[in-house]
A and B are shown apart, each in its own frame.
Chain A
């Protein structure tokens, strides 16, 4: 199904037209909780992009070379979540060993990523749409980059709103959801650019 699609088209589509958060609602929890501050939002965006890119490819190999030959496809949710958790743990150890500075700035977000819906969502989309490994890699990267772009933009907008007079019941989550809605509408404007969803 996805074989004839150009991987770069998939990447652009994943980043802009079918953005993880704005059109698939994936990764909302941390999206709302962490977008108060531009710097931390940037750190989380970077971490999500990195993990999403690599776990997508990793799970692609696990699915096609281990689960399918063994006929264990019904276990895939459990296996995928274990792969993601293990990868995040491994990444944490590697970053801690080689770049303590990066570890300190990124460290707190890494454990959060295991339960970020965007990661598992990216993997499941790749399996359902039957991407090849290369398509999966670029799809993972594009999705992550799109998520990163969206959280940084949201954090910047929220920073501007801090001083504004918002109805008290709408303050916090309510107004954030409305901002996300308007951003999602703006991203729909990209949809003419790429012919696939």
Chain B
């Protein structure tokens, strides 16, 4: 079922065509939770779930959706999956749900999901779309985890809440404050673009 082309697309979404680093999509809502690896991981898993399944659903319904209302249909499909994630978190992980606050709901307006639905799922078969959605979600999650890794390690001296750096090391207070997310992300983009210098020069 999975051909070489799918595999290539899958891997490209993870790094070479990474939605955050190359396409600069959907950095809105999720950047806010990157000062803590646990929250980021939960958020990334939720995002992969929503991206994958909404791409699948959009693709399944693509021949039955009238073109002029497709945006509304897509938003409703995405919103339904987000409600599922939100309800699940509230029931099983109430503490994390509280600390994520409004950001779970904001997955709805994450441009990546709409972007994949519109650019890929609209014109491909369901299995390919599911894989494309999942890989985009994972590629996105990886970047978030990188940011969270740097921020939590330097800001709190810990990873997933376990203290790693010795007590004598000074915590960088700036790393737990919002501006550092922008700086860390800019640095990651800078590093990621270096090997593909020629490709992205026109931007």
Contacts and interface: CB of A to CB of B under 8 A. Distances in A.
A31 to B, nearest CB: 8
A185 B179 contact: yes
A169 B194 CA distance: 6
B110 A117 contact: yes
A182 B127 CA distance: 43
B124 interface: no
Contact of B114 (A115, A128, A185): A115
Contacts of B42: none
B87 interface: yes
Nearest to B78: A81
A177 interface: yes
Chain B CB within 10 Å — which of A25, A78, A185 has the most?
A25
A167 B190 contact: yes
A22 interface: yes
A191 B72 CA distance: 39
Contacts, number: 125
A47 interface: no
A81 B79 contact: yes
A29 B26 contact: yes
Interface of A: 22-29, 32-33, 74-75, 77-78, 81-82, 85, 114-117, 119-121, 124-125, 128, 167-175, 177-178, 180-182, 184-185, 188
Interface in B44-69: none
Contact of A25 (B24, B25, B178, B201): B178
A170 B32 contact: no
Nearest to B109: A117
B32 A25 contact: yes
Contact of A78 (B79, B109, B180, B189): B79
A114 B61 CA distance: 22
A28 B28 contact: yes
Given A117-B106, A177-B183, A180-B182, 8 more contacts: A29-B111, A81-B76, A117-B28, A119-B109, A125-B102, A169-B193, A169-B200, A181-B182
